[in-house]
Amino acid sequence: MGKLFGTDGVRDKANQGNMTAETALKLGCAVGLYFRDATAVEEVRPVIAIGRDPRLSGSMLESALAAGVCSAGVDVRLLGVVPTPAVAQITVQTGAVAGLVVSASHNPFYDNGIKVFKGSGFKLTDEEEEQIEELFFSDALSLPVEEEVGAVFFMQDAVELYAEFCRQTLPDGQPLAGLKLVLDCSNGATSACAEAVFSAVGASVAVIHNDPDGININENCGSQHTEDLCAKVLEMGADAGLAFDGDGDRLIAVDETGSELSGDQIMAICAKAYKEQGTLTNDRVVATVMSNMGFHAAMKSLGIKTETAGVGDRMVLELMQKTGAVLGGEDSGHMIFLDCHTTGDGIVSGLKLMQVLAASSVKLSALAEIMVPFPQVLINVDVKQKPPIEEVAALAEAVAQAEKELGDAGRVLIRYSGTQPMCRVMVEGPVEAQTQEIAERLARVVKECVG
């Protein structure tokens, strides 16, 4: 049997490999069959919600995916262009048996992907993905006929429902009154709702990169490229800037000085606030192996235990549920507030961060001082193959040498991207120049060996 799911759903270049209309059709059918019997009401046909981001290939794949779900005897509720976390939330709110998202997150417009949420709003486990893959690759499926075939319905108020959900994660009234904010919507899925959400809770809002055309999603904007946001914050004298990625499940912030805050810094600020409020369950947070050593030091100084998960929001969520943590996330800006939502949500993360700022007597730059990041260099190297890192002798030798040079004052982490043909070389160390030199040296070895 082949392999379909990666670290976060199914990904590929649009109309190629695992992201063709044919694949979407078959996957929709497999997901529909898997969830068809999940409803306990026999007289009511199960429904699967489908949402997408605005990239060019989205409508093509959405149509194929919907057709596949209907062929399995399941109705489809099309949500249109909405953030990924909106699909998870509306799936739960409307009683759908599953939610599907057509999006490639922060990737360029020519990529696309399909993510699956269960009726509970959580992503699939590895075992559930394997069962869906078995259906996908099966040649002996029994499909319904006649009146048992599913139908497609359009949900006109999906954006409004999600926006109201986001507003309700903060106290009633206008808790962000007095804040001047700039939002960068990455020409993506938050373009239709972010301004309304933050304005409704009292903030004065300016928005950039909120005019998607299907091709400009994530292009030199959003959470991956904050240069325009930094400039706009300084130009307006804003209190903060908030940058989302293309599908709206990540957040990167900019303080009033135009300096970027990482996901680790945002999470450190929110963890401190939760602890002071007595809402940080078990006094612990969940980070990943990519989190900066400075984050661990900050949490230790606050008496907060840090649990470390593998890379990916699914890994973070699993460890959060296992340890009872309500806050977890990645340095990339993907944060989960489990007391509010089942998945990472850039808008909710932004609301939570701004709530702390609004209640504080200091600027965002001062709040960020809770964490002093260790010098960190991350270099992405394009690769043609992905052999196990430990089996590439020259690379293993180079890593060992780097770790010897850094000692206990730093670390090296080399891993393949789960969604792109890329190897990520990350080095942390006590001195920026040394950290940069080691990272560049390792990146060269990666390129020579697998590039």
The one-letter amino acid at 144? P
Determine phi and psi for 60, rounding to 5 degrees: -60, -50
Dist. CA 256–CA 365, nearest whole Å: 7
Dist. CA 268–CA 295, nearest whole Å: 7
Examine the residue annotation and report whether 191 is marked as an active-site residue of this protein.
Answer: no
Distances (CA, A) of 294 to 32, 185, 196, 256, 385: 45, 29, 35, 22, 33
Give Cβ neighbours of residue 151 (< 8 Å, ≥ 6 apart). Answer: 70, 75, 76
Tokens of 419: 């969604």
Dist. CA 240–CA 255, nearest whole Å: 5
Dist. CA 89–CA 444, nearest whole Å: 43
Q: Exactly one of 105, 191, 262, 291 is catalytic; which is it?
A: 105
Question: Are the CB atoms for 334 and 344 separated by under 8 Å?
Answer: yes
How are strands ordered across the β-sheet holding 180-184?
A: 204-208, 180-184, 240-244, 251-254, 260-261
Catalytic annotation, residues: 105
